[in-house]
Structure 1
Amino acid sequence: MTQADKTGAPTTVQAEDGHYTISVEGKEVGKAEFSDRDGQRVFTHTEVDSDYEGRGLATILIAEALAQTRDAGLRIVAQCPMVANYVGKHDEFADVVDKA
Protein backbone atom coordinates (compact mmCIF):
# COMPACT_ATOMS: atom_id res chain seq x y z
CA MET A 1 0.00 0.00 0.00
CA THR A 2 1.18 3.53 -0.77
CA GLN A 3 0.02 6.46 1.33
CA ALA A 4 1.47 9.92 1.97
CA ASP A 5 2.77 10.87 5.40
CA LYS A 6 2.05 14.21 7.10
CA THR A 7 4.72 15.92 4.96
CA GLY A 8 3.20 14.58 1.75
CA ALA A 9 6.05 12.11 1.15
CA PRO A 10 4.94 8.75 -0.28
CA THR A 11 5.22 5.74 2.00
CA THR A 12 5.11 2.02 1.33
CA VAL A 13 4.20 -0.71 3.83
CA GLN A 14 5.36 -4.24 3.09
CA ALA A 15 4.89 -7.54 4.87
CA GLU A 16 8.06 -9.53 5.39
CA ASP A 17 8.91 -12.61 7.43
CA GLY A 18 8.05 -11.70 11.03
CA HIS A 19 7.57 -7.98 10.49
CA TYR A 20 6.05 -5.22 8.43
CA THR A 21 8.24 -2.39 7.20
CA ILE A 22 7.45 1.18 6.23
CA SER A 23 9.57 3.05 3.72
CA VAL A 24 9.58 6.74 2.85
CA GLU A 25 10.65 7.52 -0.70
CA GLY A 26 12.27 4.08 -0.89
CA LYS A 27 14.16 4.25 2.44
CA GLU A 28 13.09 1.80 5.17
CA VAL A 29 12.43 3.84 8.31
CA GLY A 30 10.29 1.67 10.57
CA LYS A 31 8.98 -1.77 11.39
CA ALA A 32 6.30 -3.60 13.33
CA GLU A 33 7.45 -7.01 14.55
CA PHE A 34 5.08 -9.94 15.04
CA SER A 35 4.88 -13.68 15.48
CA ASP A 36 2.06 -15.92 14.34
CA ARG A 37 0.62 -18.64 16.55
CA ASP A 38 -2.64 -20.58 16.56
CA GLY A 39 -4.56 -18.20 14.30
CA GLN A 40 -3.24 -15.09 16.05
CA ARG A 41 -0.72 -12.49 14.95
CA VAL A 42 1.03 -11.21 18.07
CA PHE A 43 2.50 -7.72 17.60
CA THR A 44 5.51 -7.39 19.92
CA HIS A 45 7.38 -4.23 18.93
CA THR A 46 7.00 -1.20 16.68
CA GLU A 47 9.59 1.45 15.97
CA VAL A 48 10.20 4.35 13.60
CA ASP A 49 13.59 5.97 13.01
CA SER A 50 13.85 9.05 15.26
CA ASP A 51 14.69 11.23 12.24
CA TYR A 52 11.18 10.48 10.90
CA GLU A 53 9.12 10.89 14.08
CA GLY A 54 6.08 13.15 14.05
CA ARG A 55 5.13 12.32 10.46
CA GLY A 56 2.40 9.80 11.26
CA LEU A 57 4.47 6.86 10.03
CA ALA A 58 3.74 4.57 12.99
CA THR A 59 0.02 5.15 12.47
CA ILE A 60 0.26 4.33 8.75
CA LEU A 61 2.39 1.25 9.49
CA ILE A 62 0.13 -0.10 12.23
CA ALA A 63 -3.09 0.59 10.31
CA GLU A 64 -1.85 -1.33 7.27
CA ALA A 65 -0.38 -4.18 9.33
CA LEU A 66 -3.66 -4.63 11.20
CA ALA A 67 -5.74 -4.44 8.02
CA GLN A 68 -3.57 -7.10 6.37
CA THR A 69 -3.79 -9.25 9.50
CA ARG A 70 -7.59 -9.00 9.54
CA ASP A 71 -7.76 -9.70 5.78
CA ALA A 72 -5.64 -12.83 6.32
CA GLY A 73 -8.23 -14.11 8.80
CA LEU A 74 -5.91 -13.83 11.80
CA ARG A 75 -6.73 -12.48 15.25
CA ILE A 76 -4.72 -9.49 16.56
CA VAL A 77 -2.86 -9.60 19.87
CA ALA A 78 -1.36 -6.22 20.80
CA GLN A 79 1.57 -6.81 23.15
CA CYS A 80 3.30 -3.75 21.68
CA PRO A 81 2.12 -0.58 23.48
CA MET A 82 1.88 1.38 20.22
CA VAL A 83 -0.35 -1.27 18.63
CA ALA A 84 -2.43 -1.55 21.83
CA ASN A 85 -2.93 2.22 21.83
CA TYR A 86 -3.98 2.14 18.17
CA VAL A 87 -6.56 -0.64 18.58
CA GLY A 88 -7.90 1.11 21.68
CA LYS A 89 -8.73 4.13 19.53
CA HIS A 90 -9.97 2.29 16.42
CA ASP A 91 -13.13 0.28 16.98
CA GLU A 92 -13.01 -1.14 13.45
CA PHE A 93 -10.58 -3.77 14.75
CA ALA A 94 -12.44 -4.59 17.99
CA ASP A 95 -13.99 -7.75 16.53
CA VAL A 96 -10.57 -9.28 15.73
CA VAL A 97 -8.54 -8.26 18.79
CA ASP A 98 -7.68 -10.75 21.55
CA LYS A 99 -6.31 -9.68 24.92
CA ALA A 100 -2.55 -9.86 25.29
Structure 2
Amino acid sequence: MTTPSTVVVEPADDRNRYEISVDGRLAGFTEYRDHEEQRVFFHTEVDEAFAGQGLASRLVQEALTDVRAAGKRIVPICPYVAKFLLKHEEFADIADPVTPEVKGWLRTQLY
Protein backbone atom coordinates (compact mmCIF):
# COMPACT_ATOMS: atom_id res chain seq x y z
CA MET A 1 0.00 0.00 0.00
CA THR A 2 1.39 3.41 -0.93
CA THR A 3 1.12 6.47 1.26
CA PRO A 4 -0.83 9.33 -0.35
CA SER A 5 1.33 12.28 -1.30
CA THR A 6 0.73 15.82 -0.12
CA VAL A 7 0.58 18.08 -3.18
CA VAL A 8 0.68 21.85 -2.69
CA VAL A 9 0.52 24.66 -5.26
CA GLU A 10 1.70 28.05 -4.05
CA PRO A 11 2.48 31.39 -5.63
CA ALA A 12 6.16 32.34 -5.47
CA ASP A 13 5.69 35.99 -6.39
CA ASP A 14 9.32 36.87 -5.66
CA ARG A 15 10.29 34.46 -8.49
CA ASN A 16 7.33 35.33 -10.77
CA ARG A 17 5.98 31.82 -10.77
CA TYR A 18 3.67 29.30 -9.18
CA GLU A 19 5.30 26.21 -7.70
CA ILE A 20 3.98 22.72 -7.09
CA SER A 21 5.51 20.52 -4.39
CA VAL A 22 5.01 16.89 -3.53
CA ASP A 23 5.71 15.98 0.08
CA GLY A 24 7.73 19.17 0.47
CA ARG A 25 9.88 18.63 -2.66
CA LEU A 26 9.66 21.10 -5.53
CA ALA A 27 8.15 19.17 -8.43
CA GLY A 28 7.54 21.92 -10.96
CA PHE A 29 6.59 25.51 -11.73
CA THR A 30 4.89 27.78 -14.22
CA GLU A 31 6.54 31.14 -14.84
CA TYR A 32 4.90 34.46 -15.67
CA ARG A 33 5.42 38.18 -15.95
CA ASP A 34 2.72 40.73 -15.19
CA HIS A 35 1.87 43.24 -17.92
CA GLU A 36 -0.75 45.72 -16.75
CA GLU A 37 -3.82 43.59 -15.94
CA GLN A 38 -2.44 40.54 -17.73
CA ARG A 39 -0.43 37.68 -16.30
CA VAL A 40 1.67 36.40 -19.21
CA PHE A 41 2.56 32.71 -18.75
CA PHE A 42 5.63 31.75 -20.77
CA HIS A 43 7.10 28.53 -19.34
CA THR A 44 5.88 25.47 -17.43
CA GLU A 45 8.12 22.65 -16.25
CA VAL A 46 7.68 19.50 -14.14
CA ASP A 47 10.70 17.50 -12.98
CA GLU A 48 11.05 14.12 -14.73
CA ALA A 49 10.90 12.37 -11.35
CA PHE A 50 7.29 13.56 -11.05
CA ALA A 51 6.18 13.04 -14.67
CA GLY A 52 2.92 11.29 -15.49
CA GLN A 53 1.13 12.24 -12.26
CA GLY A 54 -1.03 15.06 -13.65
CA LEU A 55 0.96 17.66 -11.74
CA ALA A 56 1.34 20.12 -14.63
CA SER A 57 -2.41 20.19 -15.13
CA ARG A 58 -3.08 20.71 -11.43
CA LEU A 59 -0.41 23.42 -11.26
CA VAL A 60 -1.83 25.37 -14.20
CA GLN A 61 -5.43 24.96 -13.04
CA GLU A 62 -4.64 26.35 -9.60
CA ALA A 63 -2.49 29.15 -11.07
CA LEU A 64 -5.28 30.23 -13.42
CA THR A 65 -7.83 30.04 -10.61
CA ASP A 66 -5.59 32.37 -8.59
CA VAL A 67 -5.29 34.78 -11.54
CA ARG A 68 -9.08 34.87 -11.84
CA ALA A 69 -9.46 35.56 -8.09
CA ALA A 70 -6.99 38.46 -8.43
CA GLY A 71 -9.11 40.00 -11.21
CA LYS A 72 -6.37 39.61 -13.82
CA ARG A 73 -6.38 38.14 -17.31
CA ILE A 74 -4.02 35.54 -18.77
CA VAL A 75 -1.95 35.38 -21.93
CA PRO A 76 -0.88 31.79 -22.75
CA ILE A 77 2.50 32.12 -24.48
CA CYS A 78 3.58 28.86 -22.81
CA PRO A 79 2.54 25.96 -25.09
CA TYR A 80 1.40 23.88 -22.12
CA VAL A 81 -0.86 26.64 -20.78
CA ALA A 82 -2.28 27.20 -24.30
CA LYS A 83 -3.01 23.46 -24.63
CA PHE A 84 -4.59 23.41 -21.16
CA LEU A 85 -6.94 26.23 -22.18
CA LEU A 86 -8.17 24.24 -25.19
CA LYS A 87 -9.40 21.52 -22.82
CA HIS A 88 -10.63 23.83 -20.04
CA GLU A 89 -13.08 26.31 -21.50
CA GLU A 90 -13.99 27.55 -18.01
CA PHE A 91 -10.97 29.87 -18.27
CA ALA A 92 -11.75 31.21 -21.77
CA ASP A 93 -13.38 34.33 -20.31
CA ILE A 94 -10.09 35.51 -18.79
CA ALA A 95 -7.78 34.49 -21.67
CA ASP A 96 -6.36 37.10 -24.05
CA PRO A 97 -4.76 36.24 -27.39
CA VAL A 98 -1.01 36.05 -27.83
CA THR A 99 -0.06 39.08 -29.93
CA PRO A 100 3.24 40.23 -31.44
CA GLU A 101 3.12 43.21 -29.06
CA VAL A 102 2.89 40.99 -25.96
CA LYS A 103 5.64 38.70 -27.28
CA GLY A 104 7.87 41.73 -27.90
CA TRP A 105 7.16 43.10 -24.44
CA LEU A 106 7.96 39.71 -22.86
CA ARG A 107 11.33 39.59 -24.65
CA THR A 108 12.24 42.92 -23.03
CA GLN A 109 11.40 41.44 -19.61
CA LEU A 110 13.40 38.22 -20.02
CA TYR A 111 16.58 39.28 -21.83
TM over 0.5: yes
Aligned counterpart for 2:19 among listed residues 18, 21, 40: 21
CA displacement at 1:10 relative to structure 2 = 1.8
Q: Distance in 2 between matches of 1:39 and 1:8?
A: 38
The letter for the 1-side match of 2:58 is I
The total of aligned residue pairs comes to 94
Q: Which residue of 2 aligns with 1:53?
A: 51
Q: Distance in 2 between matches of 1:25 and 1:10?
A: 5
Q: Which residue of 2 aligns with 1:9?
A: 5
Q: Which ranges of 4 or more aligned residues in structure 1 deviate by more than 4 Å? A: none
Alpha-carbon RMSD across the aligned residues, in angstroms, is: 1.1
Written as runs of structure 1 = structure 2, the 5 A alignment for 1:24-39 is 24-39=22-37
The letter for the 2-side match of 1:99 is P
Q: Distance in 2 between matches of 1:85 and 1:28?
A: 23
* Paired residue secondary structure (1:35): strand
CA displacement at 1:48 relative to structure 2 = 0.2
**Percent pairwise identity:** 48
* Paired residue secondary structure (1:41): strand
Aligned counterpart for 1:89 among listed residues 74, 82, 87: 87
The letter for the 2-side match of 1:98 is D
Q: Distance in 2 between matches of 1:8 and 1:88?
A: 30
More strand by share: 1
- Structure number with greater Rg is 2
Q: Distance in 2 between matches of 1:70 and 1:81?
A: 20
Return 5+ residue gaps in structure 1 as ranges.
1-6
Q: Distance in 1 between matches of 2:55 and 2:5?
A: 10
Q: Which residue of 2 aligns with 1:42?
A: 40
Q: Distance in 1 between matches of 2:52 and 2:91?
A: 24
* Paired residue secondary structure (1:98): coil
The letter for the 2-side match of 1:23 is S
Normalising by structure 2, we get a TM-score of 0.82
